Structure 1
Amino acid sequence: MDLHDTIVKQAETAKSASRRLAVLPSPIKNKALEAMACALEDGAALILEANAADLEAARAKKIKKSFLDRLMLDEGRIHSMAEGLRQTAALPDPVGEGEWETVRPNGIEIRRVKVPIGVIGIVYEARPNVTADAAALCMKSGNAVLLRGGSEALRSNRVISSLLAKAAYDAGIPEGALQFIDSDDREAVGEMMKLKGLLDVIIPRGGAGLIQRIVRESQVPVIETGAGICHTYVDEGADLDMAVRIAVNAKTSRPSVCNAMETLLVHEKEAKEFLPKVAAELRERKVELRGCERTRGVLSDIEAATEDDWSTEYDDLILSIRVVRDMDEAIEHINRYNTGHSETIVTRDIQRAHRFQREVDAAAVYVNASTRFTDGFEFGFGAEIGISTQKLHARGPMGLNELTSTKYLIYGEGQVR
């Protein structure tokens, strides 16, 4: 069977399973998620063996360190994946939840309830944890899932998906509800994009190139996620010690992820005092700094930032810095270069904080906190399927509720129109 026929068959199997999964009681789904969590922990040695082989192959290709960080699993990360499954099990089941109801003048009763979307296709790059997160959220929200991970993590994903599927089916999830495309052929993504009628939506997670290709070419509806050119703006009169902590965390705690800061904006009145402080902390953590002309007037030894720097998602220990005249200029810069992901202001002025939140166009807008919190786990969603940067259907971290659609239930007593 060739790649096309294999993927179509998997999608058809998932479609059939999705109808049974959609009406499965919550206790069965929760039991399955608990079993899937245990399967990951019990199979940790197998997962780590496969992941070591993936890492070895990636290093041989001289993949950059930030990419290796996404790919790498250890006991702690496997435990976190299992914990995400358990947290998802503990969350309320959105399926069947009533959103709205009314009784019309003619006596007809109308209710709107949440229902599963159906079959969700997930295309993602070198993050094996996505396999577990996606499976958990799709199972709990009653959706079948077709997973296609990056070739760099093929061995890891193969083992993880196999462990999860067996545990899920043994616990009562319909066979075929969790499908993994076990191929490193780049055409697999192209085949998925043609599955209109079998897949209800595709959600890409990865770099801008992958996301834009799917948005541009897919015949299946797409939820755009992920790309993160995130900013921290240090306002006039800000607590500079707090600003240093926030900026350092936003850039260095995990630079390879989409909610990491890529550009630091500093009010001109704070630049002379703040920039040497934050630069010292960032340099200690091996961050390469690039700055505008005014920034280089304070930090004379850093590289000049180019126009491309403002629109680059580094996913690495590189930071562009710009000194701005005021908050107007900061907001203008953010709305010009950001990707609609996460932005933060460090300020003591609550009025300016509220204005920043109103005027900055992004899925998550913070006051006095790191952008690194834009995450389904941190938001209390158990895990996330991705962070939507678009405005239709879902925006921000996508948890269980964002993986449902709606259905209207209408009750009458013989009324005709």
Structure 2
Amino acid sequence: MGAAARGAAVLLAREEARAKADGVRACAVSVRARAGAILAANRRDLAAAPHLSPALIDRLTLDEARIEAIAAGLDAVAALPDPVGAVIAAWEQPNGLRFERVRVPLGVVGIIYESRPNVTADAGALCLMAGNAVILRGGSEAAASNAAIHAALVEGLESAGLPAAAIQLVASPDRALVGAMLAAHGLIDVIIPRGGKGLVARVVAEARVPVLAHLDGNNHVYVDAAADPAMAKAIVLDAKMRRTGVCGAMETLLIDRACPDAASLITALLDANCEVRASADLMPLDTRLILASDSDWDTEYLDAITAVILVDGVAGAVDHIARHGSHHTDAIVTADPTAAARFLTEVDSAIVLHNASTQFADGGEFGFGAEIGIATGRLHARGPVALEGLTTYKNIVRGTGQVRG
């Protein structure tokens, strides 16, 4: 598979933007045409997955609307500007040498992911549009769904005259094949893990291939004393309850000790059937509260559960996030521009928001069409990884016979 992907990557690197876009659009057509088969495959996966948590069931479940969203996401990717060949910088030296830094594909990308069959389509389309071949290894719980979506993608590629090996799927559930991908130095240029802590930890520990890590989303919303009460309530409820199983969901609510509306925020969450684990000083506010333990501040629940704690202003919020956050997504709600500026500057996360829900941590919401994942490290790419994050660059130097002598 690696050798086939390498050959496909060479061909894709030569393709014009229109050819790649036509291929992605053909994949979208095929996904729509095969919607019935994809739904049937998804039902088989769901029937075999009663042991999964509600959050994972939500990630796994497909319906007609979600399949249309997958196809629409493919169309959106096809409409994006091609990053390959873009000149990032250009300059000339006094000796007459002219330099250009130009975007080029990464080559062969390996993606290891869990639960979400939509990643099969998103990852395939993004890698293709960026001129890369991709080897996908989804979780066993979504095996049938992934295979059905992959079949649609291959049909689209072939109808557009692009190599089928550009998007390959490791169909076997054998975990040893993950190890084979991690050791495939020379065949795979970068590995992107998308899943729980266990998966990411294994990939980081074992990989002999560079890793672009997507870590857990222990995300925070900080409600400042200067927050508009109605806005704060709307943002907190959306950040936690819109979809509890996505990586952009709020897991900890930080409330300024000077905020006059702490009780109403907590009541709103409880009334929305969210379990609230609170610090000791908040316990008298409502009999439904559960006393938080130290581990709650470090937990990504991916469920209708949140931790809540009072902090001393922006400084307290920044300090709490520094000690417990995962550098994914954190938000401040405030009408004070000074407080907002300090939070946005000092919180070291891939995505920081002012007066907006953390659920906007999504490549589509950024205008990227789709995403491979949210990169939380500091190297190469950070935040939603889309087309530009799937490229690197080379330096092109043009001379007129110069020698160093």
State TM-score, norm by structure 1: 0.95
Pick the aligned partner of 1:28 from 19, 30, 52.
Answer: 19
Pick the aligned partner of 1:353 from 330, 340, 365.
Answer: 340
CA distance in 2, matches of 1:354, 1:327: 10
Matched position secondary structure for 1:366: strand
Bigger mean CA offset, 133-142 vs 282-291: 282-291
Aligned to 2:65: 76
1:269 maps to a residue whose letter is: A
Which string of whole-angstrom CA distances, capped at 9 and with x for unpartnered residues, describes residues 244-265 of structure 1? 1000000011111111000001
Pick the aligned partner of 2:48 from 52, 57, 76.
Answer: 57
Shift of 1:162: 1.2
Matched position secondary structure for 1:203: strand
CA distance in 2, matches of 1:207, 1:335: 21
CA distance in 2, matches of 1:275, 1:268: 8
Pick the aligned partner of 2:290 from 276, 293, 303.
Answer: 303
Which string of whole-angstrom CA distances, capped at 9 and with x for unpartnered residues, describes residues 50-98 of structure 1? 0000001001xx2111110000000111111111111111110000011
Pick the aligned partner of 2:160 from 171, 184, 190.
Answer: 171
Aligned to 1:152: 141
In structure 1, stretches of 5+ residues that fail to align are: 1-9
CA distance in 2, matches of 1:88, 1:33: 8
Shift of 1:140: 0.3
CA distance in 2, matches of 1:63, 1:15: 36
- Work out whether 1:396 is the aligned partner of 2:387: no
Shift of 1:175: 3.2
CA distance in 1, matches of 2:202, 2:262: 38
- Work out whether 1:215 is the aligned partner of 2:214: no
Aligned pairs, number: 404
Aligned to 1:89: 78
CA distance in 2, matches of 1:175, 1:47: 19
Matched position secondary structure for 2:127: helix
CA distance in 1, matches of 2:308, 2:388: 37
Matched position secondary structure for 1:147: strand
2:246 maps to a residue whose letter is: V
Change (3 A) 1:261 1:237: same
- Work out whether 1:342 is the aligned partner of 2:333: no
CA distance in 1, matches of 2:194, 2:288: 37
CA distance in 2, matches of 1:200, 1:125: 21
The answer to whether the 8 Å contact 1:226/1:258 transfers is: no
Aligned to 2:368: 381
1:316 maps to a residue whose letter is: D
Which string of whole-angstrom CA distances, capped at 9 and with x for unpartnered residues, describes residues 2-39 of structure 1? xxxxxxxx111001110111110111111111110011
Pick the aligned partner of 1:117 from 106, 109, 115.
Answer: 106
- Work out whether 1:40 is the aligned partner of 2:31: yes
CA distance in 2, matches of 1:133, 1:48: 17
Which string of whole-angstrom CA distances, capped at 9 and with x for unpartnered residues, describes residues 181-227 of structure 1? 00111222111100011000000001111111101111110001141
Which string of whole-angstrom CA distances, capped at 9 and with x for unpartnered residues, describes residues 282-306 of structure 1? 2233211100011113234311101
The answer to whether the 8 Å contact 2:270/2:288 transfers is: no
Matched position secondary structure for 1:343: strand
Matched position secondary structure for 2:269: helix
CA distance in 1, matches of 2:14, 2:338: 48
Bigger mean CA offset, 169-178 vs 34-43: 169-178
Pick the aligned partner of 2:178 from 179, 189, 203.
Answer: 189
CA distance in 2, matches of 1:86, 1:384: 14
CA distance in 2, matches of 1:127, 1:226: 16
- Work out whether 1:139 is the aligned partner of 2:128: yes
1:106 maps to a residue whose letter is: N
Pick the aligned partner of 1:233 from 184, 198, 222.
Answer: 222
CA distance in 1, matches of 2:164, 2:244: 38
CA distance in 1, matches of 2:236, 2:396: 49
The answer to whether the 8 Å contact 1:331/1:359 transfers is: yes
Matched position secondary structure for 1:176: helix
The answer to whether the 8 Å contact 1:98/1:112 transfers is: yes
- Work out whether 1:19 is the aligned partner of 2:10: yes
Which string of whole-angstrom CA distances, capped at 9 and with x for unpartnered residues, describes residues 321-363 of structure 1? 0011222111100111100000001111001100000111101
CA distance in 2, matches of 1:323, 1:107: 61
1:307 maps to a residue whose letter is: D
Matched position secondary structure for 2:372: coil
Identity of aligned residues (%): 46
Shift of 1:266: 0.6
Aligned to 1:129: 118
Shift of 1:241: 1.3
In structure 2, stretches of 5+ residues that fail to align are: none
Shift of 1:275: 3.2
The answer to whether the 8 Å contact 2:314/2:342 transfers is: no
CA distance in 2, matches of 1:307, 1:28: 54
RMSD: 1.0
CA distance in 2, matches of 1:412, 1:326: 57
Shift of 1:228: 0.3
- Work out whether 1:362 is the aligned partner of 2:349: yes
Shift of 1:414: 1.6
- Work out whether 1:250 is the aligned partner of 2:263: no
1:416 maps to a residue whose letter is: V
1:134 maps to a residue whose letter is: A
